[in-house]
Structure 1
Amino acid sequence: MAVGQRVINLFRRKLNKVDRELVESYLDEAGLFLFNQMSFSDQKHAVTVARYLLSEKVDTQGANLRPLIKGALLHDVGKVKGEIAWWNRILVGLIRRFFPRLRTKWGKRGEGGLNHALYVDLHHPSRGAYMAESLGIDPTVVSLIKHHHDEPNERTNLELALLQNADAKN
């Protein structure tokens, strides 16, 4: 997804009917609860990642599709709506892209501010996995959430590799 579209999504408020139907067709009550904790821009990104995985552009043969799509819809659930101001989200995106080492140096747990936004950006996979596990989400989906920013290696399974690729492209 283009940076400009992500900025526009920061100011939109809700998913359209078609996107909502996709989400509701894959997520149970606990999954919907988690999904609804995300900001619109994170929800829209998650739906875009899921749609990309469901498109003809991606060869998902051999993949366990249902947990993969659930993982796509919930992979950023560790970024909770309202926790980070929109301007800090933009700064985090720029820092992640152009100065990635600063995330680790400046990312500090706290309340609000750029340091906390960087902390959330760094730790949202483990935070999201903890939230999902606490609500009884399928362990396969929890693992996808937890590891979606890990460096790929020989132990990376097909579903995780597909999710990582789709997330990076969208």
Structure 2
Amino acid sequence: MMQRVRQFYRAMTADITPADRAFVDKSIPKAAQPLFYAMHPADQYHALHVARTALALADMSDLTVDRSMLLRCALLHDVGRVRGDLDVWGKVFTVLMDRFLPRLAEKLACPGGQGLWSKPGHAIYVYYHHAEIGAAKLRAIGLTGEAALIARHHQPPAAGDAPELCLLREADERN
């Protein structure tokens, strides 16, 4: 619960600095930058924290890690959520629905949608499927390795998972 409170506070106070922008622009390919900047600023801020945490975890680990791949994946892991699809209050709504009314949330989830529940239904859909949505966007610009990792980052751990995937999951969980 405290983790969600901390996430909400960070989302409400998110501030992307020029230094953050320079870090992102240096760390991900030019073709991926529009995907990063299409995210809500709170998601950009979150991705920056995940990236820094992932690199710190890699430094403390005995794993052989492709740090560049890890950094790209950490910065791009939420590109399936774009500004307008799932803002801060939409995320609060979807997290609460998933926690307290998961069956109803699954029924309401729909891409686009029509009628009274179109916006909340779309937000829930994006919440559940943003990893796959983001992976498709990354494949479309040729980042197939990153797409494969990101598509699996919300799935349960499995034997043989790449060290970058393990570190991404842990860094995302901590942020």
- Separation in structure 1 between the aligned mates of residue 100 and residue 61 of structure 2, nearest angstrom: 31
- Residue in 1 aligned with 2:92? 90
Pick closer, same or farther for the CA change 1:58–1:113 going to 2, 3 Å: farther
Answer with 1 or 2: which has the greater Rg: 2
Q: Is the 8 A contact 1:9 1:40 kept in 2?
A: no
- Separation in structure 2 between the aligned mates of residue 15 and residue 35 of structure 1, nearest angstrom: 12
Normalised TM-score (structure 1): 0.86
- TM-superposed CA distance for 1:134, in Å, is 0.8
Task: Mark the runs of 5 or more structure 1 residues left unpaired by the alignment.
Answer: none
Pick closer, same or farther for the CA change 1:19–1:97 going to 2, 3 Å: farther
Other structure's SS at 2:38 match: coil
Residue 154 of structure 1 is aligned with which of 147, 159, 162?
159
Other structure's SS at 1:132 match: helix
- TM-superposed CA distance for 1:85, in Å, is 4.6
RMSD over aligned Cα atoms? 2.3
Residue 126 of structure 2 is aligned with which of 104, 110, 120?
120
- Residue in 1 aligned with 2:135? 129
- TM-superposed CA distance for 1:11, in Å, is 4.4
- Residue in 2 aligned with 1:144? 149
- Separation in structure 1 between the aligned mates of residue 156 and residue 111 of structure 2, nearest angstrom: 23
- Residue in 2 aligned with 1:78? 80
- Separation in structure 2 between the aligned mates of residue 83 and residue 32 of structure 1, nearest angstrom: 18
Q: Is the 8 A contact 2:11 2:45 kept in 1?
A: no
Letter in 1 for 2:147: V
Other structure's SS at 1:160 match: helix
- TM-superposed CA distance for 1:9, in Å, is 4.4
